[in-house]
Every structure is written in structure tokens, then in C-alpha cells.
Amino acid sequence: MFAPTLTGLGERSHLMSGTITLDTHIADVVNVIRWESLDGFVLVGHSYGGWIISGAAEQVEKKIASIVFLDAFMPENGQRVLDTNSPRSRAEIEEAMKRAEVSRPAPHPSVWKVNEKDQPWVQEKFTAQPIGVAFTPIRLTGARERVQKKTYVRATGYDNPNFERAYAKVKADPSWRTFEMPCGHEVMIDMPERTAEVLLAAA
């Protein structure tokens, strides 16, 4: 299993800069696939990660056996992250730009409806988010739809109109498998065992 850390985040937070874009993060994932010689794998994207796996699929489509959107965005061709950001996120980006800063702070875990017990640990692990990812239009030709196995997982305890639209769209498509999980947005924290079961089922 590989869990790539995106440039500027987590243990790579020391690489935060104003040059980070959506394409940077797509390259982070694509390069792990290429340099680790991965083939026939399950590609999973959570939340913003839906943008990344959609873009990655355009470059490594033939290597992907299954793709999973884990309570994630499913962008359309030409969209920018900014186009789907919440009013809160947009305000944070605008404030960062006014201050000539290249990142915005992560919100409190309660925003994502993380269970109260795990909120302190989650908050400790959060890092600032590069604002440059918000402005790059994504280039899509339908690669993610051409992947043979496709799954969408919806966290029913977290309201998000973007996720609701994506879920409704794929639920009506027989080529997709769908699952609902009664928890907050961070499904792998709130319901780790069930998340593992769903991912194994998607393989």
C-alpha cells in the first residue's frame, strides 16, 4: 500500500511554496505510480483527493484496476478547485491573498464532523493548505469513467452539495458501485474498519 504525501502537506510541509498547483499534486501521485512500477491497483482519493485521482487517471488510466472516490469531489473538465470551494474556503483564500501568503490554515476538525474523541489528534496532524491549487483548471477526457471498476463512498453525516451531486450522478449509473457510511467526512477516522471493508470490496 502506498499513501503519497502531497507537496507542502504533512511531512512535506517544509516544501510549502507559492508554486504549488493542482498539477503539482497530480504529479506527486503519478510519479509514485511510475517510479514504484505500480499496475493493477486501487486508486483512492478522499475529499480534495478526488481532483487528484481524476487528473492522475488521465495519465495512468491503463494501470488502474479500480478507482474509489471516498466522500470526494468529482470535477468536470475545465473546472477549478475554487469553483467548488465552500464560502468559508473562498474567504480563507481571499484573506491569504490579501496578506500575500501562499497557504491558508486548516479548519477545526469539527468542520468535517470528526468524532469528538479524535478531534484533538486530527487537529494536531492538520497542516496549512496551499492556495495555489485552487486556480488551475483541470484537464479531463473521461479517463476515470473508463476505469473498469468505479466506486463512490458517501459520508451521510457530512453535508456537502458537491458530494451530493457527485453521489446522485454515479448512483444512477450502473457502472458505478456506491456505499453510504453514517459518519462525518473523515470516514477513515470515524469508521476505519468499515472503510477498509469497502476498499477491499472495491478491489
Active-site residue numbers?
47
Backbone angles phi, psi at 181, to 5 degrees: -130, 125
In whole angstroms, give the CA distance from residue 193 to residue 39.
25
Could you tell me if residue 130 is left (phi over 0), alpha (psi between -120 and 50 degrees) or otherwise beta?
beta
In whole angstroms, give the CA distance from residue 109 to residue 175.
34
Backbone angles phi, psi at 69, to 5 degrees: -100, 110
Alpha helix segments (H runs only) across the chain: 22-35, 49-60, 81-84, 87-98, 119-125, 143-146, 161-171, 187-190, 192-202
- The CA distances from residue 94 to 22, 158, 160, in Å, are 18, 25, 21
Residue in the block written with cell 480534495: 48
Backbone angles phi, psi at 56, to 5 degrees: -65, -40
